[in-house]
Chain A
Amino acid sequence: MAIPILSLIVLIPILFAVLTLFTKTKEQARAIALFASVLVLALSMFMYFNFDSTTPQMQFQEFAQWVPSLGINYQLGIDGISMPLVLLNAIVIPFLILFSWNDDKKQPNRFYALILATQGAVIGVFVALDFFLFYVFWELTLVPLFFMVSIWGGPGKHKASIKFFIYTHVGSLVMLLGIFGLYFAAWKQTGTPNMGIEHLLSQFQFIASGLSRDLIFMALLFGFLVKIPAFPFHSWLPDAYVEAPTAGSVLFVLLKIGGYGLFRVMLPILPFTPSMDLMINIMAALGAVSILYGAFLALAQNDLKRMVAYSSVSHMGYVTLGAAGLVSLSVSGAMFQQFSHGLIMSIMFMACGIINNATGTMIINNLGGLARKMPKLAVIMMLAFMASLGLPGLTGFIAEFLVLTFTYINQPTYVVIAIMAIIITAAYHLWAMQRAMFGVYNEKFGALKDISASQTFSMAVIAILILYFGLNPSPVLDMMITNSEKLVSLMAVAGV
C-alpha cells in the first residue's frame, strides 16, 4: 500500500484531538473535530470500497519494527472482524459531533478532543495486530472516557467514573496477565520473543502445560467479559452509562472492544483449551443469563437512561451467546449484533439526552405525552425502540435471529433461556414508550420545542442505516461470515 491508511485513521483523530485542545472557542473546537472525523469517515469508506470481503486474510497491513529485542512490532491490519467495527466508529462519530454541535459544555476544547481521542484509541484496538499495541490502545480508551464522565457527567459522576475506571482496569490487568503468560510461554517454545497476535494465538496450542493454557484462556476471557460486559461483571456499566454525558454514553456504546476480543483472541484458541466444553458452557450461559437478566433489570428501572443501559447488558448477551454457538452463522450474528447494537444504542442515548435537556428529568413516570410536542423525536425514537426490541426489517432482528437460530444447533438449552427474554424486552420498551412519549402531555414542561435540525439530521442518518442494514445486511455481514467460517473451521481442524 502506498498510503498507510490504517495508521492515518488511528493517528488523525489522536493528532487532531491534541490540536483541538489548543483551540480557544467552541466554534473552533467543533469545526476541527468535525473535520477530523469526516476525514476518518472518508478514509474508512475508501478502505471499505477497496476491501475484499471474500478472503479472511488481513488486509491493508502495515509493519515496522519497534522493539526487536522483545519482539514488539508496529503491526496493523484489518479483516472482516474489525472492518465493520471500524466503520461503525467512523460513521457514528461525525454524527455524534454534529449532534453535540450546539451543546453548551464547559471546556468545549477538551470535550471535542476527548471524543476524537476515544475514536482513535478504539479504532487502534481494532486494527492492532501486535498484542503490545493492542493493550496500549485498550488502556488508552479508558482515559478519555474517564474524563468524559468525571468532567461532564451527572450528579454521581465522581463515583461512577472511579468505579468504571477501577473495575474495567482490574479486568484489563487480568487480561494483561493472560497476554504475558501467552507471550512468555510462546517465547519459551520458539526461542524468540514475538508479540504478534496471530503468532501468539497460533503458538497457544503448543504450550505443553494444560493448566497454563486454561489459566491463560480464563485470564483473557475475564478481561473481555468485563469489558462487554457480561453478567455478573456488569455492575460498572449502568452507573457509567447513566452518569456520562450523552456523547460519553454514545462513546461507551461504540466501545465494542470486549466483544471484539472474543472473536479476535478467544475463538481461535478455544479448541486448544483443555477444558473447552466448560468454557463454551460458561460463555453460552453467561450470554443467555445476561440477555434474560438484563431484560428483567431494564423492566424494573424508573430512569429511562438506566433502562437503556440495562437493555445494553441484555443485548450484549447475544454477542457472548452467539460466539459460543460455534456455527459460522451464529458467530457472524454475534459480530453483527455488535455493529447493530452500536447504531441502535447511539440513537437511544441521543434521545435520552434530548429528553433530559428538554425536561430536566429522566424518570419515566414524570414524563408523558412528549410525542405531541416532539413528533420528530417520537418517530426516530420509535424506530430505535423497535430496532432494539428486535423488530424484523431492522438490524437488531438480523443479529438476534442468526444468533438464536444457529446457536440452537449446538446449545439448545441456553437459547431457550434467551428466547424467554424476547417478551420482556418488548415489554420494557413499549411500557417506557407508553409512559414517556404517549398519554397525556405533562403540562408542567411548558412549550417544548422539537429537536433541532442538526440533531434530527444526525439521528435520522443513523436511523436510515439501521433500516438499510436491516433490509440488506450483506454489505457488512458477508465479510463477517467469511471470517466466521475460518474461525469455525479451526474448530473442525482441532477435531471439535
Chain B
Amino acid sequence: MAIEDMAFLIPVLPALAFVITFFLGKKLPNGGAIIPIIAIFTSFIISLMITLNLLQNPGQIISQSYSWFAILNVGILIDPLAAVMLSMVSFVSLLIHIYAVGYMSHDKAQPRYFAETALFTTAMLGVALSDNILQFFICWELVGLCSYLLIGFWFEKPSAASAAKKAFLTTRVGDVMFLAGIILLFADIFRIFNGSIPEGIYVLRFDEIFTHIPEIAALNTQIFGFEVSHLTIITLLFFGGAVGKSGQFPLHVWLPDAMEGPTTVSALIHAATMVTAGVYLVARTFPMFIAAPHSLIVVTYFGAFTALFAATMGLVMNDIKRVLAFSTISQLGYMVLGLGMGAVIGITAVGDSMFHLINHAFFKALLFLCAGSVIHAVGTQDIRQMGGVRKVMPITFVTMLIASLALAGFGIPGTSIGVSGFFSKDPIIEAAYLFGESTENWLPYLFSIVAALLTSIYIFRLIFMTFTGKPRTNYQGHESPFVMTIPLMILGVLALVFGALTKTGFGRFLEETFTNNFVNLDIHALSEIGKYHLVSHGAGNEPLMILWMPVIVAIAGLLISYLIYGMRVIDMSSIVSRKNPVYKLLYNRYYQNAIFTQFLAVKVVYEGLALAGRAIDRGFDWMVYLIGHIFTEASRGLRILQTGVVQNYATSVVTGVSLLIILVKLILEVF
C-alpha cells in the first residue's frame, strides 16, 4: 500500500478515537487514554513517513480531492509545509496525551478530557492538510470549539466558564474577518469566471486560488479615496483571522485567560499547536500575501509590536502559567514578524517563520509541561510561593532550564552550537535588520531586539523564583511519575538539538512548497505585483555586531535576572509596588480588560446596543397594540357582534372575504 493511500488516516484515526473515547471512555482504565494515544501515534508515524518520503523525493506531493457538495470539495494536500506541520502536531499531541495520563489521573472527567483532546487533534491535523481554504476554515473553527470546551473543562469554576467564552468570542472576531476574506475571494473568482464555474474545477483549492493571483490583484476598490487592491483586502482579512487565532495585538486578550484550562491543554492548544494556526494560515497563503501591496508591511508591524508588547507584560506576572502565556504571545509575534519579512527576503521568510514555529512548539510545550509538573507537585501557580523546587524535582528543573535557554536563544553565531530557539529566532531578527536597511525603517528591528532582552529577563525570573533559593511556603513537593517525566525528557532533547540538526535543510525543504511539480509559482514575479523589493538574503553577511546582538541581549537578560532574583542584590520591592505607575500599568495588562470587556463588550455592545434594541422592540410591539386599539375603539359600536359564538365569527370571516373579493375586482376594473 502506497503511503499516499494512508494519508487520509492521519485525521481519521484521531476522529475515531474521539468517538470511541467519548462513548466508552468511562468503562476503560485512565478514561480510555490508550485509544487516542494509539491513534495519534499511528498518525504520527504516517506523517513522519510522508515527510521523510518528501525529503527524498521532493516531487511526491500528495493531493487528493473529492467533490463535497455543489461546487465545493474536500481534499488532502501534503506538501513540505503541511508535512512538517502534521509531523509536529501529531508528535507533540502524542507526548502531551501520554503526559496527561499522569497529570489528569485524579480527575473524574478523564473520558471527556481525552475525547476532547482527540477531537482537537483531529481538527488541528485537518487544518494542516486541507487542500482548500473552506475546509481549512472549517477545521480552524472546530479547533476553536475544542479550545473553548477545554478551557472550560472545569466548567464549575466561574472563571473557567468565563475564560472559555472570552476565548471563543475574541477569536470569533478574527474568524469573521477570515470568513469575510473567503467570501470576497469567492466573489472575485466568480467574477473572473464570469459567473459560470466549469465542472470539476474547485475554485477554493489553494492551487486554483494561486493561479488567479494576478487577476485578483488587478481588481481595485476605492476605500477612503485610495485605490486598494482586492488582494490586499483579502489577505488582510485572512490576517485578521490569524490575529485572532495566534493571539496578536489587539486580539491577544483571550490567551492569558485561557490558562484556566488544564495545563496540558495550555501546552497542547495554547502553546504548541492551535495558536500557531494563524501563522500557518499566512504561510499557507503566502503567495497571496507577497503579491498584495502593503499586506506584508502590516503583518510586520503587528508581529513586531506584539512580540514587544506581550514581553513587557510577561515581566510582572506572578502566575507561572501567565508568564508562559505572555511568552507565547510574544513568540507568536516573532513568527508573524518572520512572515512579514517576506517583504525583503521573499520565500525564505516562510522557512524562517515555520522553523521558529516548530522549535517553539517543542520548547514551549516543554515549558508548559514542566510548569504543570511543578503545579502538580507544589499545588500552587504563584511563583512567589515556590522557591527551591530544584531540590525536589531535578528532572523537571533540568528540562525546564533547557527550554528556557531555548526560548532565550543561546548559541554561538557562525557555528552549529546553540539551542533550538537560537537558530530560529536569530534569522528573524536578522531579517528585521535587513528590512531596516532596505526600507530605512528600524522599528521592527528595534522591537524585536528589545523583546529578546525582555524574553530573557522574564523567563529567568521565572526559573530563579521557582527553582532556586529556599522554599517560601510549606509545600509537599515530589518529582512527577515517569509517565510525565519521559515526555519532558524527549522534548528537552529536541529543544536542545533540533535547531542545530535541521537548520540548513529546513528552509530549503519548505521553499519547495510553492515551487514543485504540483504548484509552480514564480515568487519573484509575484513580489513585483506586490511592489516589494526583495534583497538577497546572504546569511552571515551582516555586520558581526548584528549577528551577535540577539545573543548579547539574551546573556544580558540572564545577568539582570540573576542579579535581581538569584543574588537579590537589587531590591525589587521598591519597584514592585502599587505606587509605581509603570508597574501598575503592566500588572493590569495595560487595562485591556477594562477597555475590551468592561467598556466594549458590556457598555457598548450589551448596555448600548442590545438594551437599546430591546427598547426599540417594545416600541414596535406598542405600535402593534396601538393599531389594534384603534380598530377596537372604532368598532366599539359593533361590539354587539362580539358574541363569542364561533358560527358568528365564521359568518363574519366569510363576509369579510367576500368583501375583499369585491374590492379586488373593483381595483382590477379600474386599472
User: Which one, B156-164, B410-418, B424-432, B562-570, is touching chain A?
Assistant: B156-164
Name B601-634 residues within 8 Å CB distance of A: 601, 605-606, 609-611, 613-614, 617, 620-621, 624, 628
| Chain B 38-57 near chain A by CB (<8 Å), digits 1 or 0 | 00000000000000000000
Q: Which of B160, B169, B182, B624 contacts A405 (CB 8 A)?
A: B182
Q: Indicate if A197 sits at the interface (CB-CB under 8 A).
A: no
Name A382-417 residues within 8 Å CB distance of B: 382, 386, 391-393, 397-398, 401-402, 404-405, 408-409, 412, 415
Whole-angstrom distance from the CB of B367 to the nearest CB of chain A?
29
Task: Give A232 to B622 CA distance when docked, in angstroms.
Answer: 12
Q: Indicate if B184 sits at the interface (CB-CB under 8 A).
A: yes
- Say whether A299 contacts B605, CB under 8 Å: yes
Q: Indicate if A376 sits at the interface (CB-CB under 8 A).
A: no
- Say whether B137 contacts A211, CB under 8 Å: no
- Say whether A438 contacts B137, CB under 8 Å: no
Q: Indicate if A176 sits at the interface (CB-CB under 8 A).
A: yes
Task: Give A180 to B160 CA distance when docked, in angstroms.
Answer: 60
13 contacts between A and B (CB under 8 A): A163-B624, A167-B624, A180-B664, A236-B624, A300-B610, A301-B614, A397-B138, A405-B182, A408-B186, A419-B180, A426-B172, A438-B158, A439-B155
Whole-angstrom distance from the CB of A317 to the nearest CB of chain B?
14
Give me 10 other A-B pairs in contact (C-beta within 8 A), A296-B610, A301-B614, A430-B164 excluded: A236-B624, A300-B611, A392-B142, A397-B141, A401-B179, A408-B187, A423-B172, A434-B161, A439-B158, A472-B69
Cβ contacts under 8 Å, B628 to chain A:
166
Q: Indicate if B152 sits at the interface (CB-CB under 8 A).
A: yes
Cβ contacts under 8 Å, B191 to chain A:
409
Contacts A176-B660, A419-B180 given: A438-B152 contact, CB under 8 Å? yes
- Say whether A177 contacts B145, CB under 8 Å: no
Cβ contacts under 8 Å, A419 to chain B:
176, 179-180, 183
| Chain A 70-106 near chain B by CB (<8 Å), digits 1 or 0 | 0000000000000000000000000000000000000
Whole-angstrom distance from the CB of B343 to the nearest CB of chain A?
29
Cβ contacts under 8 Å, B663 to chain A:
177
Task: Give A474 to B460 CA distance when docked, in angstroms.
Answer: 56
Task: Give A332 to B72 CA distance when docked, in angstroms.
Answer: 14
Cβ contacts under 8 Å, A473 to chain B:
69
The 5 A-B pairs of least Cβ separation, nearest first, read A438-B161, A392-B138, A209-B671, A300-B610, A438-B155
- Say whether B661 contacts A180, CB under 8 Å: yes
Task: Give A433 to B164 CA distance when docked, in angstroms.
Answer: 11
| Chain B 652-671 near chain A by CB (<8 Å), digits 1 or 0 | 00001100110111011001
| Chain A 136-179 near chain B by CB (<8 Å), digits 1 or 0 | 00000000000000000000000000010011000001001100
Cβ contacts under 8 Å, A438 to chain B:
152, 155-156, 158, 160-161, 164
Q: Indicate if B168 sits at the interface (CB-CB under 8 A).
A: yes
- Say whether B184 contacts A408, CB under 8 Å: yes
Q: Interface residues of A: mostly helix, strand, loop or mixed?
A: helix
Cβ contacts under 8 Å, A433 to chain B:
165
Whole-angstrom distance from the CB of B449 to the nearest CB of chain A?
37
- Say whether B668 contacts A181, CB under 8 Å: yes
Q: Which of A184, A369, A420 contacts B665 (CB 8 A)?
A: A184
Task: Give A483 to B427 CA distance when docked, in angstroms.
Answer: 57
Cβ contacts under 8 Å, B656 to chain A:
173
Q: Which of B70, B141, B671 has the most CB of A within 10 A?
A: B70
Q: Indicate if B590 sits at the interface (CB-CB under 8 A).
A: no
Cβ contacts under 8 Å, A386 to chain B:
145
Name A212-265 residues within 8 Å CB distance of B: 212, 215, 232, 234-236
Cβ contacts under 8 Å, A185 to chain B:
668
- Say whether B605 contacts A434, CB under 8 Å: no
B residues engaging A (CB < 8 A)?
A: 69-71, 134, 137-138, 141-142, 145, 148-149, 152, 155-158, 160-162, 164-165, 168-169, 172-173, 176, 179-180, 182-184, 186-187, 190-191, 195, 601, 605-606, 609-611, 613-614, 617, 620-621, 624, 628, 656-657, 660-661, 663-665, 667-668, 671
Q: Indicate if A424 sits at the interface (CB-CB under 8 A).
A: yes
Cβ contacts under 8 Å, A209 to chain B:
668, 671
Task: Give A472 to B69 CA distance when docked, in angstroms.
Answer: 8
Q: Which of A188, A369, A392, A472 contacts B137 (CB 8 A)?
A: A392
- Say whether A440 contacts B606, CB under 8 Å: no
Contacts A296-B610, A419-B180 given: A184-B664 contact, CB under 8 Å? yes
Residues of A in contact, count (CB < 8 Å): 67
- Say whether B664 contacts A177, CB under 8 Å: yes
- Say whether A478 contacts B69, CB under 8 Å: yes
Task: Give A426 to B180 CA distance when docked, in angstroms.
Answer: 16
Q: Which of A297, A329, A404, A440 contacts B156 (CB 8 A)?
A: A440
Cβ contacts under 8 Å, A409 to chain B:
187, 190-191, 195
Q: Indicate if A486 sits at the interface (CB-CB under 8 A).
A: no
- Say whether A423 contacts B69, CB under 8 Å: no
Q: Which of B155, B172, B610 contacts A299 (CB 8 A)?
A: B610
A424 closest partner in B (C-beta): B605
Whole-angstrom distance from the CB of B611 to the nearest CB of chain A?
5
Cβ contacts under 8 Å, B183 to chain A:
404-405, 408, 415, 419
| Chain A 428-462 near chain B by CB (<8 Å), digits 1 or 0 | 00110110011111000000000000000000000
Q: Which of A293, A401, A423, A430 contacts B176 (CB 8 A)?
A: A423
Task: Give A368 to B169 CA distance when docked, in angstroms.
Answer: 20
Whole-angstrom distance from the CB of A135 to the nearest CB of chain B?
10
Whole-angstrom distance from the CB of B54 to the nearest CB of chain A?
29
Cβ contacts under 8 Å, B601 to chain A:
427
Task: Give A402 to B68 CA distance when docked, in angstroms.
Answer: 14
Q: Which of A173, A212, A300 contacts B671 (CB 8 A)?
A: A212
Cβ contacts under 8 Å, A420 to chain B:
176
Q: Which of B173, B180, B605, B667 has the most CB of A within 10 A?
A: B667
Cβ contacts under 8 Å, B180 to chain A:
419
Whole-angstrom distance from the CB of B623 to the nearest CB of chain A?
8
- Say whether B664 contacts A181, CB under 8 Å: yes
Task: Give A300 to B134 CA distance when docked, in angstroms.
Answer: 32
Task: Give A433 to B161 CA distance when docked, in angstroms.
Answer: 9
A296 closest partner in B (C-beta): B613
- Say whether A430 contacts B660, CB under 8 Å: no
Q: Indicate if A422 sits at the interface (CB-CB under 8 A).
A: yes
Whole-angstrom distance from the CB of B293 to the nearest CB of chain A?
22
Whole-angstrom distance from the CB of A474 to the nearest CB of chain B?
5
- Say whether A405 contacts B187, CB under 8 Å: yes
Cβ contacts under 8 Å, A236 to chain B:
624
Task: Give A393 to B139 CA distance when docked, in angstroms.
Answer: 9
Q: Which of B145, B158, B173, B614 contacts A423 (CB 8 A)?
A: B173
Q: Which of B141, B155, B186, B621 contacts A235 (CB 8 A)?
A: B621
Task: Give A87 to B428 CA distance when docked, in angstroms.
Answer: 58
- Say whether B660 contacts A423, CB under 8 Å: no
Task: Give A481 to B69 CA distance when docked, in angstroms.
Answer: 10
Contacts A426-B168, A438-B152, A478-B69 given: A393-B138 contact, CB under 8 Å? yes
A415 closest partner in B (C-beta): B183
Task: Give A415 to B157 CA distance when docked, in angstroms.
Answer: 38
Name A293-331 residues within 8 Å CB distance of B: 293, 296-297, 299-301, 329
Task: Give A163 to B145 CA distance when docked, in angstroms.
Answer: 40
